[in-house]
Amino acid sequence: MATSVERTVGAADPMVPVPYVVERFIRETQDTFSLELEPFDPTGELRFLPGQFNMLYVFGVGEVPISISGDAAEPRKLIHTTREVGVVTRAMRSLKPGHTIGVRGPFGTSWPMDEAKGHDVILVAGGIGLAPLRPALYWILRNRDDYGKVVLLYGTRSPEDILYSKELAKWRSQFDLEVYITVDRATTEWRGNVGVVTKLIGRAPFDPSDTVAMVCGPEIMMRFAVEELARRGVSTSDIYVSMERNMKCGIGLCGHCQLRGEFVCKDGPVYRFDVIEPLFLEREL
Amino acid sequence: MTDLYPIIRSQEFFKEFSEEDVHEVVGCATNIVLHQGQYVFREGEPADHFYLIRHGRVSLELFAPGRGAVVVETVEEGEPLGWSWLIPPYKWHFAARCDTLLRAIALDGQCLRRKCEENPRLGYHLMRRMAEMMESRLQASILRMLDLYGDKR
């Protein structure tokens, strides 16, 4: 059914950051936030495909790869969601509207939006892995008639860690989208599911023989999610995962993200599972 | 009395059981309906049943001093609930509270244990299904223990 992942090439010189201005800072959860960026150039725009990432450069601090989490149909408005985990993302956390940031990209492969046409689609997200999948969901919702049943399964640590909670509430109320959320731990005030996201796969309404699955989250979670999807009958050639490695240059030159013969920044981050399977259990290379 | 055979036969849990073995199980089964907020069982009570949820959702709770009731896991339609009926001292370690209206098949643990002793084939199939459930819960517990969503994506 599905055969390839799409690639696009970004700016003319991919090593030169383009200046963007911070339009909005959005606190998502206690330790995650989104930056909404616009190019300084009034005619500038960044066309990307769902699943791709940019290198964001906090001047004087450093550069990090972050998946694009906004809508590909709005190429002047870039949204990136991240967690404060290091020096650069902590510096990003202190950016305010009007501040400048450098953007290189978009880089990497995308979710298989074309291959999924005419099929059921299941999106399985763990934690902040929902961010790289959000553009795929926007895409599907803009082209809803192109797809069969669409199911979003989202697992996170606790109710307080749920990303995009307002949007999730909106999506849950839609008749053309099934959304199931689970948390790892909760108090009795939480009225939803408690347990790992992989458990939701067994209950989700989709036709395993006619489904494309897109999975994003911690690699261990993805591994178990793939096992559950396969147990339900989804072919591993119809399962796509987004790999996270230490991307630096974004164009497959520096080798920081190399997994044997694969450069995750260029050949990934989105891989068809049967292609990446032999490397999936590799320890950090 | 309505025969529970068709209901039990249709449960995923018993799909690989022979007709004869399912009939054996039916002899230990009753149909139950509980309302939202009611407890199926509480911590420390005798674990004399196990349940197959036909409709609704149950929260497994553990009471932690100073934190109140913590939900350990939710169990839903099509899933089995409880394995303490199988393991001495046959006491529940968690409480099970109905999040919604609950319809379930309750299987008498003592009756099942006796039938498993008498019929090793039934015993083997039942143990295998219970082991699968335990493996699945163990894996889930390990994943949650790793706190995967903590530092990195």
ipTM, two decimals, is: 0.85
Instruction: State the best of A184, A219, A228 to mutate against chain B, taking most chain B CBs within 10 Å.
Output: A184
pLDDT for residue A32? 95
Q: How many domains does chain B have?
A: 1
Note whether residue B53 is domain-resident.
Answer: yes
Residue A260 has pLDDT above 90, yes or no: no
Instruction: State the best of B63, B71, B99, B138 to mutate against chain A, taking most chain A CBs within 10 Å.
Output: B71
First to last CA, chain A: 31
Tell me which fold the domain A18-107 belongs to: Elongation Factor Tu (Ef-tu); domain 3 (2.40.30)
pLDDT digits (tens, 9 = 90+) for B53-86: 999 999 999 988 888 888 999 999 999 999 999 9
Note whether residue B30 is domain-resident.
Answer: yes
pLDDT for residue B148? 83
The partner residue sitting opposite A193, judged by closest CB among B70, B74, B147, is B74
Residue type at position A7: R
DSSP per-residue string spanning B9-44 = HTSGGGTTS-HHHHHHHHTTEEEEEE-TT-EEE-TT
Is there a shared CATH topology between the A18-107 domain and the A120-279 domain?
A: no
pLDDT for residue B153? 39
Average pLDDT over residues A40-51: 92
Domain membership of residue B17 as a residue range: 5-145
The partner residue sitting opposite B150, judged by closest CB among A157, A216, A217, is A157
Secondary structure element (H or E) that encloses residue B109, with its range = helix B109-118
Give the residue on A whose Cα is nearest the Cα of B79: A203
Which chain A residues touch B152 with a CB distance below 8 Å?
A: 83, 85, 218, 244
What are the boundaries of each domain within chain A? Answer: 18-107, 120-279
Question: Class assignment of domain A120-279?
Answer: alpha beta
What is the model's pTM?
A: 0.90
Question: B149–A184: do the CB atoms touch at under 8 Å?
Answer: yes
Note whether residue B150 is domain-resident.
Answer: no
The partner residue sitting opposite B139, judged by closest CB among A191, A218, A224, is A224
pLDDT digits (tens, 9 = 90+) for A203-257: 899 999 999 999 999 999 999 999 999 999 999 999 999 988 888 888 888 888 8
